[in-house]
Structure 1
């Protein structure tokens, strides 16, 4: 059996490897497919696809599944929906992601202003100079503050300055779940609720969310995930059965920004079988008829 990873980040958002480097690593690990799912952007996909043609074994080619991870608002909380098998040229989706990027930039300007008020010399321009064309996230703030001696570590930066309850934190303006799922479908893709247990809702609240999102057309749920422990995967699989959702799996690889999570294997024992792709492709085919 060959294995896949359907939740992967590059430096097009808050990962540390370029799309080409991610592909090279995936090929070295003999993965059969990865989904590049950078936050609110499709920017790294063409590079990844080109790299896969050049770097993977012709007898066992590495498949690049175009994706993104879209932040949506639910009860004033940030929930993530993965879009998989996307048409990266879809104008409606690209326009929406560009608007989300603009709102993210406005939020970043306000956050850097608040941090400067606390004596931290940080600007969006400095972050962009360090990170190039990446979609700037709080992970980039943390990295900058640590490298410039304002915090001891990225974790320290989040605990002191970047967590949701910090006076320096600025909430973003998000898409609604219904809109995000609709955009993914318009771009020919599948909408998947990412890491459902990471939001720390109790099971009754989580059932409420999944039921609502399923009503909007949610296709799948990320049941196989790096941070799962104990009975976590079984819990998510039961929700999938209850709402007729497909199972997906991903490491949430970010390179050195999450050094304890490896591509393909997560914390060491993650195994996502290639066979998970079959029902996804079947649903996409049925939808296109």
Structure 2
């Protein structure tokens, strides 16, 4: 059996739309697939049930443990369960707050309209640092994604912000 239980769509930081990701998995003869986007279940609202693949609902939740950011992958979850939906909303709020803070810091070093640019890069997905990096490449502030993180978004740089994620204990419970 071929399985891929950790992949990302454009609902977070992947490059393929959910249906495209599923179709690619089918082409590659994946029998069991879980789209585990960062802090969102939006991939599961794209009519994927009708596609001929065993789909396991999943998510990758950002958490804090001591002074570390830890990602927890949840598999076989109920995408309509109230506690899951509440957790996702809290994560969305935290991501939106972080995005606004990143944009404000980038504005302070002369990068204009970065929140708008990151939103465009994210499409209908969650805004993440990768979307800011793609925007920085698009406007010519840097040549590569790697350079965007090294110069602007990485630890200690102008666009680096600490995010208050849910604790690992709260996410697990």
- Compute the TM-score of the two structures, normalised by the length of structure 2: 0.94
Residues 72 and 180, structure 1, Cα contact 8 Å, conserved in 2: yes
Residue 192 of structure 1: aligned partner: none
Deviations 1:172-221 (A, max 9, x none): 11111111111xxxxxxxxxxxxxxxxxxxxxxxxxxxxxxxxxxxxxxx
CA distance in 2, matches of 1:48, 1:29: 20
Alignment: residue pair count: 173
Residues 10 and 16, structure 1, Cα contact 8 Å, conserved in 2: yes
Residue 123 of structure 2: aligned partner: 132
- Does residue 109 of the first structure (1) align with residue 109 of the second (2)? no
Residue 35 of structure 1: aligned partner: 34
CA distance in 1, matches of 2:160, 2:121: 21
Q: Helix, strand or coil for the counterpart of 2:56? A: strand
2:110 paired residue among 92, 107, 119: 119
Residue 161 of structure 2: aligned partner: 170
Residues 36 and 66, structure 1, Cα contact 8 Å, conserved in 2: yes
Deviation for aligned residue 1:48 = 5.9
Cα RMSD for the two superposed structures:
1.3
CA distance in 2, matches of 1:144, 1:125: 9
Deviations 1:86-137 (A, max 9, x none): 0000111111211121121111111111111111123323322343221011
CA distance in 1, matches of 2:102, 2:157: 11
Answer with 1 or 2: which has the greater Rg.
1
CA distance in 2, matches of 1:48, 1:66: 13
CA distance in 2, matches of 1:81, 1:143: 25
| Structure 1 stretches of 4+ moved >3 Å | none
Mark the CA change 1:48 to 1:156 in structure 2 (over 3 Å): closer, same or farther. farther
1:79 paired residue among 67, 70, 74: 70
Within 5 Å, which residues of 2 pair with 1:93-108? 93-108=84-99
Residue 15 of structure 1: aligned partner: 14
Mark the CA change 1:8 to 1:48 in structure 2 (over 3 Å): closer, same or farther. farther
Structure 1: 5+ residue runs without aligned partners?
A: 57-61, 183-289
1:144 paired residue among 117, 122, 135: 135
Structure 2: 5+ residue runs without aligned partners?
A: none
CA distance in 2, matches of 1:151, 1:100: 29
